[in-house]
Amino acid sequence: MGGGDAHPLSQNTGREPAWSIEKKMSLKSERRGIHVDQSELLCKKGCGYYGNPAWQGFCSKCWREEYHKARQRQIQEDWELAERLQREEEEAFASSQSSQGAQSLTFSKFEEKKTNEKTRKVTTVKKFFSASSRAGSKKEIQEAKAPSPSINRQTSIETDRVTKEFIDFLKTFHKTGQEVYKQTKMFLEAMPYKRDLSIEEQSECTQDFYQNVAERLQTRGKVPPEKVEKMMDQIEKHIMTRLYKFVFCPETTDDEKKDLAIQKRIRALHWVTPQMLCVPVNEEIPEVSDMVVKAITDIIEMDSKRVPRDKLACITRCSKHIFNAIKITKNEPASADDFLPTLIYIVLKGNPPRLQSNIQYITRFCNPSRLMTGEDGYYFTNLCCAVAFIEKLDAQSLNLSQEDFDRYMSGQTSPRKQESESWSPEACLGVKQMYKNLDLLSQLNERQERIMTEAKKLEKDLIDWTDGIAKEVQDIVEKYPLEIKPPNQPLAAIDSENVENDKLPPPLQPQVYAG
């Protein structure tokens, strides 16, 4: 990286060294990218739960363990900053009261101060960095802390951006905008104290807040309904960007467990075909398969958004792509009878990350008016239905026999194999070859199993045989027991002959007689 002179990029741009451009590019793609790779989604610690890029790839639990302290400090800092801002704003408000009609000026002033604060904050973060890097002896501590401020900085950049947009938006409402800002700030300040409450209670607080603000806008601010809706969207965006990391998939709930359960379930159902679900979409048409891919991308992208409304927008986009796919296939507007099965198919195919957490988060923290009557709400309800269907799916719901269902679930056979002849005669050669190979493999498997059983039988035969022989021998031994009898008479006679040898006269020796 360091060889800036030799690098062509550095020559082209002249001033900037190559590595900085590369770094920027990688940062950009990192932020924009949709994380689809499973391994990237899992917690870095390998605990099996999902990780989150916002948590440096850890799951909520591991993240909390690792960076609890650093975060506490950050919260403290934020808190102090908020207090300071509050004081400044009040001062500004007081001065604007004295000189009426200078409200927009107040805002810009306030903004100026805010940017000052921001730069101050960044410098302290830098200081923090350099200080820790100098302390060479505390290497471990540095490693544990270093990623935390960088993340905080990244998220704070985003929240700052959102805050700026929010303020810009509120400016157009003059005095009402200011009041809304105050209410929002009060709410955000109160929320950290409610972190010990259950997530349902926190959700309740948020919903109450939405309702109060909307009512005030309508009755006191006399804001027309369309504008109230816009305002509510902005408020939701502002507060949920800040609250996201505390209330998305909190560890006090079993959201994470449910995420894993549905993920496993969808994996186990990989064999479900569009035909089983009666999906009215023909993926052989290139445009249709294009739409299907887009729909899957959208539903996966949902997880990367922080604001409930943005998540809903992903679901809506996904649904629109599904409708397009149906329209191209059937050439008529899609009804719910067409839509739901297709959505189920898309969810099964996409296996969107942290599905349950996302659904819970939207249910708890989305502005309710959007969720209950609007178009987004309809698609969201359908997604809930799809998830419920997948959870409860059984043989009957796919028009399969229980035996087939069990066999597919256990992975013994795949329905695709049987269908390869009937469904896709013009499937590409590779797929055909694959099915052929699969057939061969299953045949091989059968033969191997046969061999195994034969071998087992042989083994058993051998054992039986040796056992049989042993038993026979045993029988014979029992039948003809080995008795040590006293020496036999005739034998003894022979022996005694020898015993009494010495008593005998010496054998005749041939003697030579002369004569």
Q: In the chain, how long is the greatest CA-to-CA distance?
A: 180
DSSP H or E stretch at residue 415: helix 415-423
> Does position 394 bind other proteins by CB under 8 A?
yes
| Tokens describing residue 388 | 């419920």
> Does position 409 bind other proteins by CB under 8 A?
no
> Does position 375 bind other proteins by CB under 8 A?
yes
Per CB under 8 A, the segment of 146-154, 381-389, 417-425, 467-475 that binds other proteins is 381-389
Distance from C-alpha of 37 to C-alpha of 141, rounded to nearest angstrom = 31
Single-letter amino acid, residue 43:
C
Q: Looking at the DSSP assignment, which residues form a beta bridge with residue 42?
A: 50
- By rule CB under 8 A, what string of x and - marks binding of each residue 76-115 to other proteins? ----------------------------------------
Q: Looking at the DSSP assignment, which residues form a beta bridge with residue 52?
A: 58
Distance from C-alpha of 387 to C-alpha of 164, rounded to nearest angstrom = 37
Distance from C-alpha of 180 to C-alpha of 36, rounded to nearest angstrom = 38
> Does position 318 bind other proteins by CB under 8 A?
no
**Could you tell me the smallest distance in angstroms from the CB atom of residue 321 to other proteins?**
10
Contact positions with other proteins (CB under 8 A) in 324-363 = 324, 326-327, 331-341, 359, 363
Considering CB under 8 A, how many residues would be counted as binding other proteins? 53
> Does position 128 bind other proteins by CB under 8 A?
no
Residue showing tokens 């109230």? 228
Question: Under a CB-based contact definition with an 8 Å cutoff, are residues 314 and 344 in contact?
Answer: no
Among the listed residues 228, 240, 307, 347, the single contact to other proteins using CB under 8 A: 228
**Could you tell me the smallest distance in angstroms from the CB atom of residue 124 to other proteins?**
40
Q: What is the 3-state secondary structure (H, E, C) of 17-33?
A: CHHHHHHHHHHHHHHHC
> Does position 385 bind other proteins by CB under 8 A?
yes
> Does position 211 bind other proteins by CB under 8 A?
yes
Over its C-alpha atoms, the chain yields an Rg (Å, rounded) of: 41
Among the listed residues 55, 67, 181, 210, the single contact to other proteins using CB under 8 A: 210
411 φψ region: left (φ > 0), alpha (ψ -120 to 50), beta (else): left
Among the listed residues 88, 229, 251, 283, the single contact to other proteins using CB under 8 A: 229
Tell me which residue of 376, 107, 103 sits closest to 229, measured CA to CA.
376
Among the listed residues 25, 94, 157, 278, the single contact to other proteins using CB under 8 A: 278
**Could you tell me the smallest distance in angstroms from the CB atom of residue 336 to other proteins?**
4
**Could you tell me the smallest distance in angstroms from the CB atom of residue 278 to other proteins?**
8
Q: Which is nearer to other proteins, 105 or 388 (CB)?
A: 388
**Could you tell me the smallest distance in angstroms from the CB atom of residue 448 to other proteins?**
37
Q: Which is nearer to other proteins, 187 or 380 (CB)?
A: 380
Q: Which is nearer to other proteins, 151 or 276 (CB)?
A: 276
Cβ neighbours, 10 Å, residue 212: 12
Distance from C-alpha of 292 to C-alpha of 70, rounded to nearest angstrom = 43
**Could you tell me the smallest distance in angstroms from the CB atom of residue 368 to other proteins?**
5
**Could you tell me the smallest distance in angstroms from the CB atom of residue 274 to other proteins?**
15
Q: What are phi and psi of 333, to 5 degrees?
A: -60, 140
> Does position 232 bind other proteins by CB under 8 A?
yes
- By rule CB under 8 A, what string of x and - marks binding of each residue 179-208 to other proteins? ----------------------------x-
Distance from C-alpha of 394 to C-alpha of 467, rounded to nearest angstrom = 51
**Could you tell me the smallest distance in angstroms from the CB atom of residue 417 to other proteins?**
24
Distance from C-alpha of 75 to C-alpha of 78, rounded to nearest angstrom = 5
Single-letter amino acid, residue 265:
R
Among the listed residues 123, 373, 437, 474, the single contact to other proteins using CB under 8 A: 373
Where does residue 311 rank: exposed (0-12), middle (13-18), buried (19+ CB within 10 A)? buried
Q: Which residues, 6 or more positions from 465, have their beta carbon under 8 angstroms from its beta carbon? A: none
Q: Which is nearer to other proteins, 242 or 258 (CB)?
A: 258
Q: Which is nearer to other proteins, 149 or 352 (CB)?
A: 352
Among the listed residues 149, 280, 350, 377, the single contact to other proteins using CB under 8 A: 377
Cβ neighbours, 10 Å, residue 50: 23
Rule CB under 8 A: which residues touch other proteins? 207, 210-211, 214-215, 225, 228-229, 232, 278, 320, 323-324, 326-327, 331-341, 359, 363, 366-369, 371-375, 377-381, 384-385, 387-389, 392, 394, 396-399
